[in-house]
Structure 1
Amino acid sequence: MRLITALIPLTLITVATSLQSQTELQWGKLGGDTEITQSIIKLERPFNTTFKAGTQTSPIQGNGYYPNADGYAPSFNLTASSPQANASIANKPDGDSITTGKNEPSYQSMVVWENAPEGRLENIAIDIKGSGSGFISGSYRLLIQQANNSWVASQPFEITKPASDASDRIVNNLKWYHFTPVTDKEATIGDPTPVNLDNIKSVGYYNRLQGNATKSYRGCEVSYFKATFAPMKQLQVKASSLKSQEKKPADGKTRIIADFEEDFKIDNSQSGWTYQWNPTGVEIGQSDRYQDLKPESKKSWRLVVDPAKKPGASSGPVNARWLMARKGQITSGDSSEVSTDGLTHFVIVSYTIQPGEAGIISIQDSQIYGKNENSSNALHIYVKDELLGTDVTTGKPSSFNINLGRMDEGDTFTLAVGGYNKKSGGVNIQFKLCSSQ
């Protein structure tokens, strides 16, 4: 193993040790809230039959509607298949509710809360039931507008009458489909698709109701809706001092066990290292589905997704148009803003602790900056497949020196660099992994 002989005295990156508590977007209460309104508030017609972002269909919050709104989300956007639908905030003894329906054989609507909190969407809970003498059957789907503005809908769930469905669902366990919001009275459900749950823009539900042939009313009532968001773990990248100075470990026992720049080999002959990416349809963190990068050619100096497709705007692989890794440099895949699957695509570099290297592992002598001063990239760090933190790099040199904690033989450290916006690109990067007892 190599002894440390010189380190760049970079300002340490720190991990937030006290994460903020979860954030909730909530309308109503589980078990019913009878304090939302003391009467029936009919929502103003005509309703949009094509979804229009930014429309507030709900009443204005105040004395008559949600007088105590602290911690709740009273404002929502309703789109219906009929401009003359029956929709209201109904005062009911078992819990005030958002009611919507129509005396037609088939009716559909969507209710969404826009401006969702920052963070990663984890759970959605909803209490929904059918209503009206004409109601026969119905279904609902949960809705998400992703960070790239595209919409997805979950698999359908049954709406029953009179029993209600008060389910709390882990969104990452659901099946998701492309969704086109109600347009000219009709929504469209598309093919299955991966979903990006980070920093979504809107959340809500879509319902479709079937009734008998008569003109009796059929509708649905929602007395409770809650979306729970977990805070994003943040790494704080600090500006670095670029002056080198010799520094020896105080205890003489700290060793460099891996050096990203020095160890890089396109034939993957350096023990412990792997170079991968998350292909189309695979979210970062699903490590069992990553794919290895490959040498561009026998004489090449870089690793790519497909040796037959040279990186480039028009020639590169889908979602990995410029993606590559080389000695001291990484160029990310497409960000969620431009990818075909709504996901961000990363170059994923991992190192597995080898025999004799176990100990307190730290990142030292690190530096990262964009090759273009206006570029920005997502930086994720994992230890033993657990996300330690994330940050966004810029064109200004920064460090990410950090203590990773105790790691034993076979444990894996992972660093991933992905697109962040339309201007994402390549980064110059160096770091060493050090072990001390």
Structure 2
Amino acid sequence: MENTSFELDPDLDPSTELEEVALDSGTQTEPEIAQPSRSLLAASSVPAIGTALSRVTGLMRVAALTAALGLTSIADVYNLANTSPNIIYELVIGGVLSSTLVPLFIQAHHDRERGIDDDAESVMVTVGLTAITVLTVVAILASPVINHFFAMPLHGAEKTHQIRLGTTFLMLLFPQVYFYGLTTLATALLHSRRRFAAPAFAPVLTNVVISITAIAVYKLNLGSTNEMRTVYLLGLGTTAGIAAMAVALLPAIRRAEISLKWDFRPRHPAVKSVIRLSGWTVGFAVSNQVALLIILTFARGAGVGAVSAYQYAFIFFQLPYGLIAVSLMTAVLPELASAANSKDESAFAEKFREGLSLMLTLMIPAAVAYLFFGRSLIAVLLQRGQFDAEATQAT
């Protein structure tokens, strides 16, 4: 008989490791929290290394794109279109999935081990993939309407340029929505098993593929001679990069021995729990993406290069966040989820304090460094090819 509820289990021990657990019925082991900072640093070291490599190759990707496109009109059309899949995904479904899957997958795995419910993980993945597929198809079909919205603040040749190239870009780039969703589901499954390496290193593939694509555009000088070839090469190459990131996680799922099957039951208690528990984050995700959409739309009307300058600057702004904060929270979240499942408020508070204090210790110096060395950093890393000193100043 199907469970009528899917609640976080109060009996789940926060110290239980989900991969290769050895149980000793005669010994009660206390959670090791005597040296929390060291344990957090150790747990976050693998995602930190992967994130560091991802950020380094990400800078390589940005450098290749800026050298190939500069702060030109086609760069603006591309950057606006390439941001759209992420905006659509986060607006409609990303906030729901990313905020709740790890603790619910932990609970589902624990229930499976106890023989309570073998299907919850499969149901959540199946319903999630179905929703993501529908969203992807709708986004592709809506590309002309979305592009006309982007063209609203423009006039004359710029508006014609946006309408002519933007729709094709969007149709080539919107399949990314599916691969973003697949990545979110696979990453949450792996994190719930304390497998951090593959999700941390997978974005490197995205950056390498897109960098090769941008270098091809630069070497072939397509940006100035054949815009439609540039559109197709950039669109297909960028989407291939996102697909590579998602596909790279599938072998890790297999190695983690995560058994899944197709099980479409949208009324299953696990699905209801995803929706119920994610409600508080939906407003946050929606407000963030709406704000970004408004910023980019107004930037598109502010002159050639404004969208691209903002996007490139934002990537540098996000560098310390992605390298430090995300790596730490990747390691902390499963521990917080386990503490919450067991209703161990002291362990939850302890882990939260550890993560927050360590993050601030590293983030504050990074923020101060940007105040003094931001422009020099942009010049050293990006100022080449189509990206000149004026572009550096704008960024």
Relative to the length of structure 1, the TM-score reads 0.21
More strand by share: 1
More helix by share: 2
**Structure with bigger gyration radius:** 1
Q: Kindly indicate whether structure 1 or structure 2 has the higher relative contact order, using CA contacts under 8 Å at least 6 residues apart.
A: 2
